[in-house]
Amino acid sequence: MAGVAVGGIALGAIGGYSLVTPKETIIEKEVEVPQEVPEYPWEYKKLDVEAVKDRAYAAYFDGGCAYGTFEGVVGELKEKVGFPYTTIPTKMAVWGKGGIVGWGLTCGAITGAGMALNLVTDNLALVNEIVGWYTTEEMPQYMPAVARKVEGELVKSVSGSPLCHASVSSYTDAADCEENSPERVERCGRLVADTAGKVAEMLNALADGTFTSTFQVPASVAECLSCHGADGPINNVFTKMDCTPCHGDPHTN
């Protein structure tokens, strides 16, 4: 092989063929400089509550309850605000489905809601509010344009608890259906839409300066904690949850 440089152009010969690389064929690649992630909490622009519900309902059937709520809110913020929300892979919330990969702990709808709320505000009163609202609201209320599992109205129930297994049991008892039935699956998809919509409503109110907390800890909790709480003689319980759905009314036992 022989090669020389002529006028800044490299010439070479391999097997009788010449290699010519003119300067004008060399394209310099632009290096994209990452945007600096802004300080927390991030910018918020008011969302269309119904669009959030629709997105959350669809996402539930793609990745479960935590992802559904998180994607419902953050997915809309990606379109409304853009960066930095566009840096978040919302599938990161899939772990929360079924009360954390099927353990029946905190309902994933609440987990996804808390994650979304905490991106926008450090006011944890909103997280407290969504948990309290979830435990006292009669759901599902959302009606999809096209249902994934069961058409029409569904039986509504009040969970009385933020726990997945208690919430599901309250519904299956009320609807007289099985846990793995299409109706229960449909119910959870619609409940996710309701929860994501509530998150958007609260954030919109916060943006307008009109958000107020309305949830009050149930009287039954205050009564139980009078003995079992930090100021009681037994002092072995720390909770805001209503005790009676799981433990029953001590006055009737």
pLDDT tens digits for range 175-201: 999 999 999 999 999 999 999 999 999
Length of the chain: 253
User: Do 131 and 233 belong to one domain?
Assistant: no
Residue 138 lies in a domain: yes
What's the whole-number mean pLDDT along residues 213-217? 88
User: Do 67 and 192 belong to one domain?
Assistant: yes
User: Do 83 and 101 belong to one domain?
Assistant: yes
User: Do 80 and 183 belong to one domain?
Assistant: yes
Report residue 137 CA to chain centroid gap. 18
User: Do 175 and 227 belong to one domain?
Assistant: no
Residue 17 lies in a domain: no
SS (H, E, C) 118-185: HHHCCCCHHHHHHHHHHHHCEECCCCCCCCCCCCCCCCCEECCCCEHHHHHHHHHHHHCCCCCCHHHH
Cα dist. 237→32, 124, 209, 228, 241 in Å?
53, 22, 35, 5, 11
Residue 2 lies in a domain: no
- Whether the bond between 140 and the residue before it is cis, its omega within 30 degrees of 0, is yes
Low-confidence winner among 9-18, 216-225, 228-237 (lowest mean pLDDT): 9-18
User: Do 139 and 111 belong to one domain?
Assistant: yes
What's the whole-number mean pLDDT along residues 112-127? 97
User: Do 182 and 132 belong to one domain?
Assistant: yes
pLDDT tens digits for range 134-187: 999 999 999 999 999 999 999 999 999 999 999 999 999 999 999 999 999 999
DSSP string, 23-63: GGG--PPPPPPPPPPPPSSPP-----HHHHHHHHHHHHHHH
Residue 240 lies in a domain: yes
Domain interval for residue 252? 216-253
User: Do 168 and 138 belong to one domain?
Assistant: yes
pLDDT tens digits for range 9-40: 444 444 444 445 555 555 556 656 678 999 99
Provide, rounded to the nearest whole percent, the portion of the chain with pLDDT above 90. 70
Residue 33 lies in a domain: no
User: Do 162 and 80 belong to one domain?
Assistant: yes
State which of 208, 224, 245 marks the end of a domain. 208
Residue 27 lies in a domain: no
User: Do 156 and 62 belong to one domain?
Assistant: yes
pLDDT greater than 60 at residue 3: no
Residue 243 identity: C
User: Do 165 and 231 belong to one domain?
Assistant: no
Residue 12 lies in a domain: no
pLDDT greater than 70 at residue 5: no
Residue 35 lies in a domain: no
Check residue 25 and give its pLDDT.
52
Check residue 43 and give its pLDDT.
96
Q: Could you tell me the two tokens for 233?
A: 């003689």
What's the whole-number mean pLDDT along residues 42-69? 98
User: Do 244 and 133 belong to one domain?
Assistant: no
Looking at the structure of the chain, the number of domains it has is 2
pTM of the predicted protein model = 0.82
